[in-house]
Amino acid sequence: MTYLHAGRAIIGDGKTVLTPAWIGFDGKYITYVDSRQPADATPENTREFDKAVTLTPGLLNIHDHISRKSLRFPTPGKTFGECATKLMSNDLPYLILHSYVNMLSYLKEEGITYVRDQGLTGYTCINLRQAIDEGLVMGPYISSCGMSISITGGHCYRQSIECDGPDAVRRAVRIQCSKGADVIKFMGSGGLEHFPQEDPSIPQFTLEELRAGADAAHDLGRDCAIHAYSNEGIRRAVLAGIDHIEHGCMMTEDLIEEMAKRGTRLNPTMTGIRGAAKAGPNAKYWDMLQERVFSRQEQGMRWAKAAGILIGAGTDTAGTLRDEIAMIADTLGEGPVEAIGRATGTNAIIAKRGDMGLLEVGRLANIAAFDGDLTKSLDGLAFVVQTWKDGTPCK
C-alpha cells in the first residue's frame, strides 16, 4: 500500500476538490480517496508533499500525433508545413524513436498517462502501444487509429490511405481494424498545414462514403473520429454517424443542435490549429484566419457547451495540453477545476476508459502531482513533480 498526502486533490469530475488529500493505491488500482488520514498510513508507506502541491488524475490527451511533437518548435525561418514535410520524409523506424522519446516526456514532464494518436506515421503507433503494453518500454496508455483515411489527394494524403467510393472506404476501415486500430480516423476537409493552397472550408468525402466507413467501424466495435473544419464536412460526418468531430471550426447553431441529438463529441484542438497557423502561413494571413476559422470555432464551442455536447481536450501536433486546457477555460469561461476536468473525467468518457480520468477507488492509479494550487491557477500545470502510471512512479 502506498499513500500520497498533499494539500489538495482535484478529483477530475470538473467540480470536486479534496482539501487536504490522501490518495492510496495498492498495485495498479486506487484504494483510498479521502481528506482524512487513513489508519494504516505510516511514514514508511506515505509520500508527503509540500502544501502547495495539487494531485490530479493522470491527464488524457484525446487528439495527438505522437511522432510529430518536435513540430511544436519549428525551425526558425521555416513554416510548419516545411518542417512537417522534412520530418515525415524519414523512414518509419526513425519516427518511432521520435514517438518513444515524446511519450517518455509526456509521462515525466507533462503528467499525461493516456494519448489518442490520430495517425500519419504508418503503424508505428500500434507498434509502440504494443511495446508499452508488454512492458518493453515505458510510456502512457496509447489508443491508435493506425493510418488515417483520406480521399485521393485529400488532407495529409501522403501519410494516409487514399480511397474513393463507399466500397473502398469500407475496405480501408477493415484493414485498419485488422492491423489493431482502436479508433478509425477520417480526413473530412482541408486544413491549415499548407494554407492557403489547401482550403479548410472545402469538404472531403461524400455522405455515402462516410456512412459506409462509420458502419464498417461500428460493426467491428470501433469509434470514428474525423478531421473536419468546414460546416458541410462536419454536417456529412454527423449525419453519417461519426462519433468525434476533431477541430470543428465552422459549425453553425443548427448543426450543433443535430450533434447534441446524436451524442456527437467535439475535440477542438484549439492550440494545435493555431500553433500550426502561426508557424505556417505568413503573418498576413492571421487576421483572415481569425475571422474565417478561429472566431467561428470559439463561438461554436460556446454553442456546443450550452447544448450539452461533450468537449474534450486534445493538442493535435502543434499544441500542449496545459495550453489547451487554459484556452478552453478562457473560451468557455470556466475555472481551473472545471477546465482540468476536460482533460481528465471528460476525456475518459470520450475515450471510453472508465478505468481512468478520476481519483476514485477502483480506477487505475494514474496520478499526477503538480507544483502549485491548481484550484486557483492553471500555471502549475507546467511544473510536474511526479507522475504515476498503474501505481508506478515515472521519474
- 343 half-sphere exposure, CB direction, 13 A CA radius: 34
Span 115-173, pLDDT tens digits: 999 999 999 999 999 999 999 999 999 999 999 999 999 999 999 999 999 999 999 99
Place of cell 484525446: 62
CB distance 313 to 266 below 8 Å:
no
**pLDDT at residue 81, rounded to an integer:** 78
Q: Alpha carbon 58 to chain centroid distance?
A: 13
Mean of pLDDT over the chain: 95
- Measuring CA to CA, which residue among 233, 242, 245, 239 is closest to residue 258? 239
How far apart CA 64 and CA 68 sit, in angstroms, is 9
pLDDT band at 254 (very low <50, low <70, confident <90, very high): very high
Helix/strand/coil for 184: strand
CATH code matching the domain that covers 59-319, chosen among 1.10.760.10, 2.40.50.100, 3.20.20.140, 3.30.365.10: 3.20.20.140
**Any idea which of 16-25, 81-90, 157-166, 204-213 has the lowest mean pLDDT?**
81-90
Span 13-67, pLDDT tens digits: 999 999 999 999 999 999 999 999 999 999 999 999 999 999 999 999 999 999 9
Q: H/E element holding 285?
A: none
CATH 2.30.40.10: which residues of the chain? 2-57+357-393
pLDDT at 71 over 90: no
Helix/strand/coil for 4: strand
CA dihedral 218, 347, 69, 179 (to 10 degrees): -20
pLDDT at 287 over 90: no
CATH 3.20.20.140: which residues of the chain? 59-319
pTM of the model: 0.96
Q: β-strands 53-57, 223-228: how paired?
A: unpaired
CB distance 189 to 204 below 8 Å:
yes
How far apart CA 381 and CA 384 sit, in angstroms, is 7
Q: Where is pLDDT greater, at 69 or 140?
A: 140
CATH code of domain 2-57+357-393: 2.30.40.10
Per-position DSSP letters for 132-172, written without gaps between them = HHTTSS---EEEE-SS-EE-TT-TTGGGSEE--SHHHHHHH
**Any idea which of 102-106, 189-193, 233-237, 279-283 has the lowest mean pLDDT?**
279-283
**pLDDT at residue 105, rounded to an integer:** 96
pLDDT at 281 over 60: no
pLDDT band at 82 (very low <50, low <70, confident <90, very high): confident
Mean pLDDT, range 237-249, rounded to an integer: 98
Q: How many residues are listed for the chain in this entry?
A: 395
How far apart CA 300 and CA 294 sit, in angstroms, is 10
Beta strands in the chain (DSSP E): 2-6, 8-10, 17-18, 21-26, 29-34, 46-48, 53-57, 59-64, 112-117, 141-144, 149-150, 161-162, 183-187, 223-228, 244-247, 265-267, 367-371, 384-389, 392-393
**Any idea which of 81-95, 96-110, 229-243 has the lowest mean pLDDT?**
81-95
pLDDT at 282 over 60: no
CB distance 176 to 122 below 8 Å:
no
How far apart CA 258 and CA 251 sit, in angstroms, is 11
Mean pLDDT, range 265-278, rounded to an integer: 92
Span 185-198, pLDDT tens digits: 999 999 887 778 88
How far apart CA 98 and CA 95 sit, in angstroms, is 5
Q: What angle do CA 209, 214, 219 make, to 5 degrees?
A: 130
Q: What residues are paired with 246 via a beta bridge?
A: 227, 267
**pLDDT at residue 197, rounded to an integer:** 81
